[in-house]
Structure 1
Amino acid sequence: MQIIDNLKDKVILITGASRGIGRHLAIAMARHGATLVITSRHLDQSPGQGGTLEGTYAAIEKSGGKVLAIPATIINPEGAKLLIDQTIEKLGRIDVLVNNAGIYPDQKILDTPPGDWNNAVDVNLNSIFYLTHYVLPHMISAGRGRIVNVSSEMALRRRPGRVAYSTTKAAVDVFSQALSEELKAQNIEVNVWTPGHVRTDMSGDKATENVEVVEESFLWMLAQEHMALTGQILRRPEFGVKWGLD
């Protein structure tokens, strides 16, 4: 299979891998032969959070996959640089960076303290900049690389209480498309993947998308020839399971 050929032995760093869609994507990529570096803030379960980095590690290892777990704080430059440095030290390279970590604040703007706003920007946007900034020298040196930034349909949709989330996800889309233009000459691909409202341990019963379906769209994106897609936003064009490119 082309997916297996394109992922086999690739070193892929994915953030937010302890639960939700990040956990599912990490397991799926490892299943297709990639070496996964999984990260989240805590190795074990943090208060009020479901899923653990240890749990994702165990699931990949049990299936025979190759995996390295590194707890990291990526909302500041020092933590992001340390994560990249540790990965390079242990594995020698990073072929694909998947910026998946994110939070979903539910606050109307008058109820949003500045600290909560800044936290949303730090997790959903600044962490992507920091990790991209520190991984790029290694990808440029290698002569190629792939960056996938996970966004949301809320970048285009408007709902009360979602101002911080919609703003940060729209910024991720624009950042990614602008960055793709900047990095074409370096043979580095940058795309956005928008999974929709996926049924996972984080989403609850209201989610409409089946995780296996959205996994397929993610793997399809990674299976494309290098630089065949860049500066694209992969999103569903309508409610349901149909996928398309913007």
Structure 2
Amino acid sequence: MSFQNKTVFITGASRGIGKAIGLRLAKEGANIVIASKSVEENPKLGGTIFSAAAEMEQAGGKALAVQCDIRDEEQVKNAVALAVEKFGGIDILVNNASAINLASAAQIEPKRFDLMYDINVRGTFFVSQACIPHLKNASNAHILNLSPPINMDKKWFTNHLAYTISKYDMTLIAIGLAAELRKHGIAANTLWPRTTIATAAVKNLLGGDALIQMSRTVDIVADAAFYILSKPSLECTGNNFIDEEVLAKEGITDLSEYAVNPGGKLYSDLFI
């Protein structure tokens, strides 16, 4: 599949994995809609919708920066409408925006719980709903959620129950949409990294510079997304993909180029 002039709507694309996916597809000539909140740079996180849009265009694509808090359905509807007005439709949706809090069930505050559910679950659901009418008109429509395979090992529920169930709900949304939308030729899949990925969230919330050194770059997830979204939507739907497994099926088994510290120890991501 050619991505030339295909329109890709990505939530949380001002930095990290979402931005990397946007850049990868922009290199193929795609139109990238950056639907994110950041209009002023946070020194700890870096990037805004405007700086990301400039990079997408430098990479070879076209870009639309739209300030959008996906917790607000009116902002979501507006972002989708602006995307369709500028590019004529939406071919691909990447539900990347996510909130993380690893507090235990005994400790998590209601507002932190609500934040994760409003972004990870409610946001993913209603962004998908808003895009569906336009995806139905696309020739090879895809929805891709950045969420893990559902692993029922109790260790994933023991220490951070709220986060786990919010991410599993993102996966359930993809599974459900795959079944519901197959008749319309719309694929829905999930993608998750085998290892931790060198993002601001990993550095600031999980393990600092030490964990970054045991991580892979965002490029591995972006390349995996590229291959998934290249597949025929009628043949590739309802899957829970792991990045390195996607690349292996494409004959890419030497992943050393993706390591922050080539040859060093890699740290497995959550749910793997």
The answer to whether the superposition gives a TM-score over 0.5 is: yes
- Indicate which of 238, 241, 247 corresponds to 1:234: 241
The reply to whether residue 55 of structure 1 matches residue 65 of structure 2 is no
What secondary structure does 2:129 align onto? Answer: helix
| Shift, 1:144, TM fit | 5.5
Query: 97-106 or 75-84: which moved more?
Result: 75-84
What secondary structure does 2:60 align onto? Answer: coil
The two structures have a TM-score, normalised by structure 2, of 0.79
What secondary structure does 1:109 align onto? Answer: coil
Question: Which residue pairs with 2:86 in the alignment?
Answer: 90
Question: Which residue pairs with 1:107 in the alignment?
Answer: 103
Q: Give 4+ residue runs of structure 1 displaced > 6 Å after superposition.
A: none
- Indicate which of 6, 13, 16 corresponds to 1:17: 13
Q: In 1, Cα distance between the equivalents of 2:228 and 2:139?
A: 20
Question: Which residue pairs with 2:64 in the alignment?
Answer: 68
Q: In 2, Cα distance between the equivalents of 1:187 and 1:83?
A: 23
What secondary structure does 1:27 align onto? Answer: helix
- Indicate which of 144, 155, 158 corresponds to 2:156: 158
Q: In 2, Cα distance between the equivalents of 1:159 and 1:209?
A: 25
| Shift, 1:133, TM fit | 1.1
**Contact in 1 for aligned 2:149/2:171 (Cα 8 Å):** no
| Shift, 1:209, TM fit | 2.6
CA displacement, residues 117-151 of structure 1 (integer Å, 9 cap, x when unaligned): 11100111111111111111222245752111111
The reply to whether residue 184 of structure 1 matches residue 182 of structure 2 is yes
Q: Which amino acid aligns with 2:183?
A: A
What secondary structure does 1:89 align onto? Answer: helix
Cα RMSD of the aligned pairs, angstroms, is: 2.3
Q: In the superposition, relative to structure 1, how do residues 242 and 179 fare at CA in structure 2: closer, same or farther (>3 Å)?
A: closer
Q: In 2, Cα distance between the equivalents of 1:150 and 1:55?
A: 22
Gaps spanning 5+ residues in structure 2: where? 204-208, 250-272
Q: In the superposition, relative to structure 1, how do residues 64 and 46 fare at CA in structure 2: closer, same or farther (>3 Å)?
A: same
Gaps spanning 5+ residues in structure 1: where? none
| Shift, 1:223, TM fit | 1.5
Q: In the superposition, relative to structure 1, how do residues 178 and 160 fare at CA in structure 2: closer, same or farther (>3 Å)?
A: same
Q: In the superposition, relative to structure 1, how do residues 49 and 210 fare at CA in structure 2: closer, same or farther (>3 Å)?
A: closer
Q: Which amino acid aligns with 2:32?
A: L
What secondary structure does 1:9 align onto? Answer: coil
Q: In 2, Cα distance between the equivalents of 1:87 and 1:40?
A: 13
Q: In 1, Cα distance between the equivalents of 2:218 and 2:43?
A: 25
Q: Which amino acid aligns with 2:182?
A: K
Q: In the superposition, relative to structure 1, how do residues 193 and 202 fare at CA in structure 2: closer, same or farther (>3 Å)?
A: same
Q: In 1, Cα distance between the equivalents of 2:15 and 2:95?
A: 14
**Contact in 2 for aligned 1:149/1:193 (Cα 8 Å):** yes
User: How many residues are treated as equivalent by the alignment?
Assistant: 237
Question: Which residue pairs with 2:31 in the alignment?
Answer: 35
CA displacement, residues 176-208 of structure 1 (integer Å, 9 cap, x when unaligned): 112111111111111111124211343223142
**Contact in 1 for aligned 2:71/2:122 (Cα 8 Å):** yes
Over the matched positions of the two proteins, sequence identity in percent amounts to 28
Question: Which residue pairs with 2:222 in the alignment?
Answer: 215
| Shift, 1:155, TM fit | 5.8
